[in-house]
Amino acid sequence: MANNKILFILGAGPNVATATAKLFAAQGYQVALVSRGTSTSFDPSYFYIQGDLSNPEKIPEWFAQVKKKYGRSPNVVIHNAYHVFPAHPQNPLSLNLGQLNYDLAVNFTSAYLAAQEAVKGFETLPADVPKSFIYTANGLNMMPMPRLVSLGLGKTALGHVIENATLSFQGKGYTFYYGDERLANGDFASGAISGMAHAERYWELSQDPKQRPWMDTFVAGQGYKEFPKV
């Protein structure tokens, strides 16, 4: 039944997460969110957890709260958080240890642990329920920018994890995606990022039990489009 399906978004903001939660809820999903802010900006029907993804040790606890609330583990998990301390444009080695550790905690460690908990939950769910982990990413794994080195480190590292997960869990009905919205010319979407395009793409990917290309570069209004590495 649709109302037994659960979407869990870690890193819930006003654009991608809001649009995605709304679309999944309209399809009958229960929705759980983690965000650093307050719950007043979210639909009151959602289960809201106030939390900071720079503290990834909290992630198992948050998954346990979702399971306790809804009686089962989430079948679609989206990591949508990021943080970046900009490095000096002429020196990507200018970050101090505290800055580097903070960015890696948000951009990589929290996502790794979320994927880990997602898979633990997938193992408990009925075979006919779609099971998907999606990481909201960008093109930094293909188009390096020295100023954003700590963000690119996290994105690239988690992309490596996702690629390996598609190999290890092949045949189990679990899907894993690196969601990367681009402009039609292949450039970063940046300020043009479309929450609705993400929502529609994430719905399509998560509901297909067959693994598609793990690095899902897509263009709003067009869908998947493969781009060469720069």
162-208: per-residue pLDDT in tens? 999 999 999 999 999 999 999 999 999 988 899 999 999 999 999 99
Distance in angstroms (rounded) separating the CA atoms of residues 170 and 145 = 33
- Beta pairing partners, 180: 217
- Residue 194 carries which side chain, given as an amino acid letter? S
Does the annotation count 155 as an active-site position? yes
pTM score, whole prediction: 0.96
- Catalytic entry in 69, 120, 155, 172: 155
**In whole angstroms, how large is the CA radius of gyration of the chain?**
17
| DSSP conformation letters of 116-138 | HHHHHHHTTS-TTS-EEEEEE--
Strand duo 215-219 + 223-224: pairing: antiparallel
Q: Where are the alpha helices (DSSP H) in the chain?
A: 16-26, 59-70, 97-104, 110-122, 149-168, 195-207
In the numeric block, the tokens 């029907």 are attached to 45
78-109: per-residue pLDDT in tens? 999 999 999 999 999 999 999 999 999 999 99
Query: Helix, strand, or coil here: 179?
Result: strand
198-212: per-residue pLDDT in tens? 999 999 999 999 999
- Beta pairing partners, 175: 132
Distance in angstroms (rounded) separating the CA atoms of residues 101 and 109 = 10
pLDDT, residue 37, reads 81
Mean pLDDT for the chain overall: 95
Output 26 or 42, whichever has higher pLDDT.
26
Question: Count of alpha carbons within 13 Å of 197, Cβ hemisphere only?
Answer: 19
- The domains of the chain are located at 2-224
Domain topology for 2-224 = Rossmann fold (3.40.50)
Query: Helix, strand, or coil here: 5?
Result: coil
